[in-house]
């Protein structure tokens, strides 16, 4: 295929971006066929881009009618499918890539792989194929062809796979990473810090070091995505001044206080004890989504302001926003930590009653925590008995913790029995039961619980919370 040279090419090409329906697209396609423009690479690539947006089956039918398509057209269609449809049609782009491999006339190049890595990295079912593609790079591309865009695609793929060490090694090979690649690595480290919390402070600290290195680079400047990663890392390690600097940088550089930045700042300030600053950010946000409200409710709950948390929850509902699972969790938890039992019960009942959603085991866990903290253990036990799913260990531990606080030996033993069935080697469960025995001066039973721990080879795990609530 070559570039068109006919006089009416401009008119036809100008019509392609204006198509909004499949019918109009077919008319343009017919014009390309009658004028001979369909034999040229550039017009047909524009048609493929548009048709993959309006009708992917039609785009594929157009493509498979092309005689001897070039690698450019293969790349165009692969890239378009991934950018428009994400990972939902990974099987199609892998199939197209297989056609490239089977063709005698085309060979994959550096532009073939970044979109393929993006598609494979988003779905664990395709991770194996992504690793095979890495091997293909070594086979089909020489060192000079493996440019920073290919490496950036590999970085994104391994970051999405959770292979952060591999992603970082590849990232360090890029002489001048672009902003998107910087953000990929920053976000990957932040994701690890979020997943493990205090158990992986090193990942969050690495975000701060990488951010400083990015600032020293003359080629890129942080954007909103970069700041979200930084703020989340600061939240994980309690780096207040660094997080505050990020907020100041946002304002000074006229960056957008979008939902992602705003939610991160609200969570950061609330966990650092600056609830007034969290509320200021919340109030100044031009657009607030469900995640923003969840962060504000959680922040109020952390500080024991259950009534204020309920007000924010009700304001969210009144504005037509749809609460998600996290909304119900943080709101019931706020009620639990403020002794608002009836209000918390009302929120729980509204999950199915008002919103038509079946409560999950986490919601039942928060309900048990709510009732258990209030000493309403019999009621909590009744809820456990009528749960439509099997209670998990976290829920039973919350119930055991409540029984310990209120000295209810009978229900504590029930919880302990179920916990031993689910987690026979968890030392926290034995310690909680021992505390109940000690509270009623049953020292022989305390000793037996400790001997049982030794029999199972269990060590006490100190300093771990036993409640189900998501609020500390």
Across the chain, mean pLDDT equals 86
Angle at 13 between CA 77 and CA 60, to 5 degrees: 25
Q: Decide: residue 281, CB within 10 A, 0-12 exposed, 13-18 middle, 19+ buried.
A: buried
Percent residues over pLDDT 90 in the chain = 56
**Position with higher pLDDT, 431 vs 417:** 417
Structure tokens at 186: 């920053």
182-200 burial string, b = 16+ CB within 10 Å, else e?
A: bbbbbbbbbbbbeeeeeeb
Confidence of residue 330 (pLDDT cuts 50, 70, 90): very high
The pLDDT confidence band at residue 462, using thresholds 50, 70 and 90, is very low
Contact predicate 441/409, CB 8 Å: no
Residue predicted with more confidence, 27 or 267: 267
- CB-based contact 214:222 (threshold 8 Å): yes
Minimum mean pLDDT range among 125-139, 150-164, 445-459:
445-459
Q: Which two tokens stand for residue 260?
A: 């992602």
pLDDT reading at 255 higher than 70: yes
Mean pLDDT throughout 242-250?
A: 96
- Please tell me the predicted confidence (pLDDT) of residue 465: 43
CB 368 within 8 A of CB 384: yes
pLDDT above 80: residue 187: yes
Read off the pLDDT band of 436 (50, 70, 90).
low
Percent of the chain having pLDDT more than 70? Answer: 85
- 5-14, 77-86, 376-385: segment of lowest average pLDDT: 5-14
282, with CB counted inside 10 A (0-12, 13-18, 19+), is buried
> Is 330 in contact with 290 (CB distance < 8 Å)?
no
Helices assigned H by DSSP within 303-426: 306-318, 325-337, 341-353, 361-373, 377-385, 393-405, 409-422
Half-sphere CA count of 279, side-chain side, radius 13 A: 11
- For residue 128, give both structure tokens: 């194996």
pTM for the whole thing? Answer: 0.81
pLDDT of residue 38: 79
Range with lowest mean pLDDT among 17-26, 206-215, 431-440: 431-440
Among the residue ranges 18-22, 313-317, 359-363, 459-463, the one predicted with the least confidence is 459-463
Average pLDDT over residues 246-263: 96
What domains sit in the chain, N to C, each tagged with a CATH number?
379-472 (1.25.40)
What are the angstrom distances between the C-alpha of 389 and each of 109, 362, 399? 52, 11, 16
Whole-Å CA distances, 296 to 184, 261, 291, 327, 434 = 27, 13, 9, 10, 38
Judge whether residue 472 has pLDDT over 70: no
pLDDT at 441 over 80: no
Q: For the chain, what percentages of helix, strand and coil (3-state, to nearest 5) are there? A: 70, 0, 30
- Does residue 193 contact residue 204 with C-beta atoms inside 8 Å? yes
What is the mean predicted confidence (pLDDT) over 278-287? 95
pLDDT at 366: 95
37-41, 69-73, 274-278: lowest mean pLDDT where? 37-41
Answer whether residue 463 shows pLDDT above 50.
Answer: no
Specify the pLDDT at position 271: 94
pLDDT at 54: 87
- The pLDDT of 388-392, averaged and rounded, is 93
Q: What mean pLDDT comes out for the span 206-223?
A: 90
Q: From residue 216, how far is each of 205, 213, 335, 433 by CA, in Å?
A: 17, 5, 46, 55
- Quick one: average pLDDT of 463-468? 43
Residue with more model confidence, 436 or 376: 376
DSSP letter assigned to residue 54: H
Among 407, 404, 345, CA closest to 371:
345
For the segment 144-165, the average pLDDT, to the nearest whole number, is: 86
Average pLDDT over residues 74-102: 91
């Amino acid at each position: 295929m070559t570039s068109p040279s006919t006089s009416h090419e401009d008119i036809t090409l100008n019509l392609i971006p204006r198509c909004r329906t499949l019918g109009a697209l077919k008319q343009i396609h017919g014009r390309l066929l009658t004028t001979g423009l369909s034999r040229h690479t550039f017009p047909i690539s524009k048609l493929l881009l548009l048709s993959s947006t309006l009708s992917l089956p039609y785009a594929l039918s157009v493509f498979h009618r092309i005689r001897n398509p070039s690698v450019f057209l293969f790349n165009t269609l692969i890239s378009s499918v991934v950018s428009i449809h994400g990972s939902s049609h990974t099987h199609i782009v892998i199939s197209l890539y297989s056609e490239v491999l089977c063709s005698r006339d085309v060979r994959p190049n550096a532009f073939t792989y970044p979109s393929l890595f993006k598609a494979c990295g988003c779905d664990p079912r395709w991770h194996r194929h992504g690793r095979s593609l890495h091997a293909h790079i070594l086979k089909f591309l020489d060192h000079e062809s493996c440019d920073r865009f290919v490496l950036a695609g590999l970085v994104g793929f391994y970051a999405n796979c959770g292979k952060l060490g591999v992603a970082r090694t590849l990232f360090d090979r890029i002489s001048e990473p672009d902003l998107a690649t910087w953000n990929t690595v920053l976000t990957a480290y932040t994701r690890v810090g979020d997943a493990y919390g205090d158990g992986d402070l090193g990942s969050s600290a690495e975000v701060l070091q990488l951010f400083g290195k990015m600032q020293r680079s003359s080629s890129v400047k942080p954007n909103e995505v970069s700041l979200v990663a930084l703020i989340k890392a600061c939240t994980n390690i309690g780096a207040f001044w660094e997080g505050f600097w990020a907020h100041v940088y946002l304002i000074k550089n006229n960056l957008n206080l979008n939902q992602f930045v705003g939610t991160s700042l609200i969570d950061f300030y609330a966990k650092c004890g600056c609830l007034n600053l969290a509320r200021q950010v919340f109030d100044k946000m031009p657009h607030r989504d469900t995640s923003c409200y969840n962060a504000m409710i959680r922040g109020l709950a952390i500080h024991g302001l259950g009534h204020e948390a309920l007000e924010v929850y009700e304001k969210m509902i009144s504005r037509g926003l749809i609460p998600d699972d996290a909304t119900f969790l943080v709101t019931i938890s706020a009620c639990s930590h403020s002794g608002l039992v009836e209000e918390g019960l009302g929120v729980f009942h509204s999950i199915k009653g008002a919103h038509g959603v079946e409560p999950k085991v986490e919601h039942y866990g928060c309900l048990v925590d709510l009732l258990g903290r209030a000493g309403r253990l019999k009621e909590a036990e009744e809820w456990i008995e009528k749960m439509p799913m099997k209670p998990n260990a976290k829920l039973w531990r919350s119930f055991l913790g409540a029984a310990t606080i209120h000295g209810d030996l009978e229900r504590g033993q029930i919880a302990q029995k179920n916990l031993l069935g689910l987690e026979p080697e968890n030392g926290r469960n034995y310690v909680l039961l021992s505390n109940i025995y000690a509270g009623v001066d049953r020292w022989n039973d305390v000793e037996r619980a400790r001997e049982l721990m030794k029999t199972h080879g269990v060590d006490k795990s100190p300093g771990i919370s036993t409640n189900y609530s998501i609020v500390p």
